[in-house]
Amino acid sequence: MKTFLPAVRLLLALTFLTGIVYPLLITGIAHELFPRQAGGSLLASHGRIVGSALLPEKFSSNKYFWPRPSAGDDGTNYVAVPSSASNFGPTSSNLVATAQSRLTAFKMANGLESNAPVPAEMVFASGSGLDPDISPEAARLQINRVAAARNFSQEQKRALSNLVHREIEPPQFGFLGEPRVNVLLLNLALDSIK
């Protein structure tokens, strides 16, 4: 009993400090120093929130750039709650069939030759299933489809190419990761092309 009461007091004190005080303190600091990021990096268009720069949104219309496929696709949007990979192994016939289906659909939609290379992120879902970015090459391969679906002139198509180029984000700190394009940011900017 000598050690039981001090142990319970210590448990309660540490639970209060690390479970309540510390999270509230860090959250408060984050909201002061990084308000947009602490709020979820939400993006608005015409006064309404359309998504987060940290999560993908499902775009299936030919008028928009398509994001990376997601294992969390519920048919209408990407669901963040069960975020994870499909857990299909490299020898899984389901993985092969899904990848082949995505590859064929991407090539057909974008008017690519049957032997044309396609970036892997347009065929395979990411590990989290919620990657908002694609490679610059994956974005460039979609320019012709988007321009045709929007009946763009040659001048507008050049503006679209320039837009894709402007939306390329370099590796973080100049050396972490690869260059990437955030699909939601690109599609929001795309709607501004007249």
Residues 57, 21, single domain; the answer is no
Those residues whose C-beta lies under 8 Å from the C-beta of residue 77, and which sit 6 or more positions away, are 57, 58
| Whole-number pLDDT of residue 194 | 67
* pLDDT in the model for residue 157: 94
Looking at the structure, tell me whether residues 133 and 146 fall in a common domain: yes
Domain of 13 in residue numbering reads as 1-39
Q: What is the pLDDT of residue 149?
A: 95
Which three-class secondary structure state does DSSP give residue 44? strand
How far apart CA 163 and CA 190 sit, in angstroms, is 8
CA distances (Å), origin 155, targets 60, 124, 139: 25, 33, 18
Q: Do residues 72 and 147 both lie within one domain?
A: yes
Block means of pLDDT (10 residues each) for the chain, 194 residues, are 89 96 94 85 81 81 91 63 65 85 94 94 82 94 96 94 96 92 93 78
